[in-house]
Structure 1
Amino acid sequence: MVAEAEVMHQAAVPVLEVQYHRCVAKGVDEVVGMSAAAAVAAPAEVGVEVEVAVEVPQMGSDQSNGAPSVSVEMLQFVPNIRSGSFADIGPRRYMEDEHIRIDDLSAHLGSLLVCPLPSAFYGVFDGHGGPDAAAYMKRHAMRFLFEDSEFPQASNVDEIFLQSVENSVRRAFLQADLALADNMDISRSSGTTALTALVFGRQLLVANAGDCRAVLCRKGIAMEMSRDHRANYVEECERVAASGGYIEDGYLNGVLSVTRALGDWDMKTPSSSTSPLIAEPEFQQTTLTEDDEFLIMGCDGIWDVMTSQHAVSIVRRGLHQHDDPERCARELVMEAKRLETADNLTVIIVCFVSELSAPQQEQQARPRSCKSLSMEALCNLRSWLETDR
């Protein structure tokens, strides 16, 4: 079932009109692209108007209205957070994905959390070996993150706060992993990847264990905020080898397609020893600016069939057209299905600006320039026309 999302207000965007002038060259001095010898024979009174299309690059809007240029430093950007999500079973028989989407974390947790505003939390959990581990994380992720891990409390963002948040998220991942081992209702062969994103003020912190991916759109350019923990990740392969594991045909120990996950306790060694499969997350952090338009969080069913830039382009085009992140998430899932993905599909789109400005419209008429022909060129043209007749 597809949840309907309210379409945000879309302001009308004026179409820029490109001005151009018709120019008629009257003499040989204005001939373009002709040799000097050919131009000498042309009398001054001969002028023929020939229109030649000239490409004009799109330029940014000028500041003729007197508005001053405002830098990011002068204008403290505050994210305007809104989001949408969509999940689809794809070609699989069972759905093993889960996700969490909270646009106002402070309001959601109430007195449990004092944090910089705005605040938000998102999570994507891609299960394998059955849906149990991912479903468990959806039910208990908020408890592990914000209740049991002594999450830091602060009104303002600084380096100490951010480091404390990272440490808390790391503990939450590891505690959740151990809880999956202790839960007798969950199969020891069931596991899940985990990708989370936290926003506090202008700070974005992404934690990842597995092959879900977070991609930030910065002025239309895809900026990956996580790395896929798979066999093609060289540093990860080196870690696996150092811990006594191996990669066979792209699979960890010939069994699992990821090298980090929560659960999968049939593949993990006791906590006192090093295991090739770990739940330790990797972190990436950035300070959001007005150039940062939105974040895509998706399971590997998306990234198996498209690049990060392809996904960003699809979402950006959708936001320009209808400004609805929920609809963009669905469009991205539908594109992955069209490309014949073989997996479940889950996408979260998190917007950081109230509305994307529409791309400059293509001009209805291409700007043109006029050039004169020399007498020799005119004679050649007349001869060609007469011969053709």
Structure 2
Amino acid sequence: MVAKAEVIHQSLDVQYRCVAKEIDEIVDISTAASAVAELGPEASAVTVDVTVSELELRKSDAMLDISVKPLRFVPSIRSGSFADIGHRRYMEDEHIRIDDLSSHLGSLLRCPEPSAFYGVFDGHGGPDAAAYIKKHAIRFLFEDANFPRASEADNNFVESVENSVREAFLLADLALAEDSTISSSSGTTALTAMVFERLLLVANAGDCRAVLCRKGEAVDMSQDHRPIYAAERQRVEQSGGFVDDGYLNGVLSVTRALGDWDLKMPRGSPSPLIAEPEFRQALLTEDDEFLIIGCDGIWDVMSSQHAVGVVRRGLRRHDDPERCARELIMEALKLNTVDNLTVIVNVASMYINLVTMMKIYSYGYTTK
């Protein structure tokens, strides 16, 4: 995408005074015009955080008003991930990271662009359930559950996606019961995050967590499903279960999971342990900096805001989400977490606007 603006001037040495959010700089109009022409389609790859509010033309005593229409925010997605066994004997975590979902699925999916998919699966009772869900997640979500096809993320699309993802979680849960190679005592939590255009949709069953950084502040995009959570405890007790010392039926530390069929009631009966996910959604803007998706090994020892601070400092230093994911896990280890550790850091940026193009050309661009 190329930014376009009509420029009215009398000579090439006319100067523009750009007035934008926290910007008050003089640039030469001939320089600015050249910057627009030279950057071309590559302009969309540059991350910026300024918005045009006014553009004034001054030369001597004359003043002309120029209107520049700012570009609509569109996320540009990139991510990194890291996993560590921690102090456990076995690694039971799995994860999926797809920055370009449409290209990954090809003709299987027609969806709003850009599109991305991420998943974290924290196994218990052995690694089998989490490994199975990772292996078959694409089939469950985008084939068996009749994932909707659309060109834009309107309300109908969002509702259809939620219904489809809910169906996929339940299908995956039943598949674990039917697969004779999976122990009935093996289970996994599951958290998925999807991006379609500006829509972020998170589905969660268990105690993995998604945290959005909005202008430096942590915004939880999921609720930990643990017995100490009042709403979950009430549901558990109404379904015939009980909570003992913070554990569901005295055994499990989560109230929602896929698998664990030795703890679930016969099919069709109310069960204290369920696989149905809860959903949260957000419409991304230029204020949204990145998303953290991590298993409970991270959240056992640090708050959402603490994690946001670690990643934010890392991005300012090196702008590498892969390194940020590793640094977050190293921080959790320093804080003496005892669990397996898996985290995905997703960074979203926006398309460039005219003021920033002029700054790049005239002064060079630096990330704050």
Displacement after TM superposition at 1:358 (Å): 4.2
Give, as a single letter, the amino acid of the residue that structure 2 aligns with 1:81: I
Among residues 142, 146, 152, which one is paired with 1:150 in the alignment? 146
Among residues 259, 263, 268, which one is paired with 1:267 in the alignment? 263
Give, as a single letter, the amino acid of the residue that structure 2 aligns with 1:63: D
**Pairing of 1:334-349 with structure 2 (within 5 A):** 334-349=330-345
CA contact (8 A) 1:194 1:261 kept: yes
Name the counterpart of 2:305: 309
Give me the TM-score of the superposition, normalised by structure 2: 0.79
CA contact (8 A) 2:93 2:123 kept: yes
Among residues 174, 181, 197, which one is paired with 1:178 in the alignment? 174
CA contact (8 A) 1:320 1:357 kept: no
**Structure number with larger C-alpha Rg:** 1
Name the counterpart of 2:194: 198
Displacement after TM superposition at 1:62 (Å): 3.7
CA contact (8 A) 2:73 2:350 kept: no
1:63 aligns with 2:59: no
Name the counterpart of 1:95: 91
C-alpha spacing 1:283/1:357, structure 2 compared with 1 (3 Å): farther
Give me the TM-score of the superposition, normalised by structure 1: 0.74
Give, as a single letter, the amino acid of the residue that structure 1 aligns with 2:24: Q
Distance 2:26 2:125 in 1: 62
Distance 2:140 2:152 in 1: 23
Distance 2:182 2:91 in 1: 16
Q: Structure 1 regions of 5+ residues with no counterpart?
A: 1-59, 360-389
C-alpha spacing 1:68/1:132, structure 2 compared with 1 (3 Å): closer
Give, as a single letter, the amino acid of the residue that structure 2 aligns with 1:307: S
C-alpha spacing 1:357/1:247, structure 2 compared with 1 (3 Å): farther
Name the counterpart of 1:169: 165
CA contact (8 A) 2:153 2:196 kept: yes
Give, as a single letter, the amino acid of the residue that structure 1 aligns with 2:73: F
Give, as a single letter, the amino acid of the residue that structure 1 aligns with 2:123: G
Distance 2:245 2:191 in 1: 25
1:293 aligns with 2:277: no
CA contact (8 A) 1:77 1:289 kept: yes
Displacement after TM superposition at 1:75 (Å): 3.4
Name the counterpart of 1:222: 218
Give, as a single letter, the amino acid of the residue that structure 1 aligns with 2:121: F
Distance 1:133 1:207 in 2: 18
Distance 2:117 2:292 in 1: 13
Displacement after TM superposition at 1:64 (Å): 4.9
- Number of aligned pairs? 298
1:232 aligns with 2:193: no
**Pairing of 1:277-288 with structure 2 (within 5 A):** 277-288=273-284
C-alpha spacing 1:235/1:74, structure 2 compared with 1 (3 Å): farther
Displacement after TM superposition at 1:69 (Å): 1.6
Distance 1:159 1:61 in 2: 35
Displacement after TM superposition at 1:196 (Å): 0.1
Give, as a single letter, the amino acid of the residue that structure 2 aligns with 1:331: E
Give, as a single letter, the amino acid of the residue that structure 2 aligns with 1:69: S
Give, as a single letter, the amino acid of the residue that structure 2 aligns with 1:280: E
Displacement after TM superposition at 1:357 (Å): 6.7
Give, as a single letter, the amino acid of the residue that structure 2 aligns with 1:277: L
CA contact (8 A) 2:74 2:350 kept: no
Give, as a single letter, the amino acid of the residue that structure 2 aligns with 1:174: L
Is the partner of 2:132 in helix, strand or coil?
A: helix
Distance 1:243 1:127 in 2: 24
CA deviation vs aligned residue, 1:234-284 (integer Å, no higher than 9, x gap): 111110111111111000000000000000000000122100000000000
Displacement after TM superposition at 1:112 (Å): 0.3
1:245 aligns with 2:235: no
Give, as a single letter, the amino acid of the residue that structure 2 aligns with 1:341: T
CA deviation vs aligned residue, 1:15-37 (integer Å, no higher than 9, x gap): xxxxxxxxxxxxxxxxxxxxxxx
Distance 2:224 2:89 in 1: 25
CA contact (8 A) 1:145 1:151 kept: yes
Distance 1:298 1:260 in 2: 16
CA contact (8 A) 2:286 2:350 kept: no
Displacement after TM superposition at 1:63 (Å): 3.0
Name the counterpart of 1:375: none
Distance 1:68 1:349 in 2: 29
Distance 2:268 2:312 in 1: 47
Name the % identity: 71
C-alpha RMSD of the superposition: 1.7
Q: Structure 2 regions of 5+ residues with no counterpart?
A: 1-20, 28-50, 55-68, 352-364
Give, as a single letter, the amino acid of the residue that structure 2 aligns with 1:79: P
Give, as a single letter, the amino acid of the residue that structure 2 aligns with 1:294: F
Give, as a single letter, the amino acid of the residue that structure 1 aligns with 2:219: M
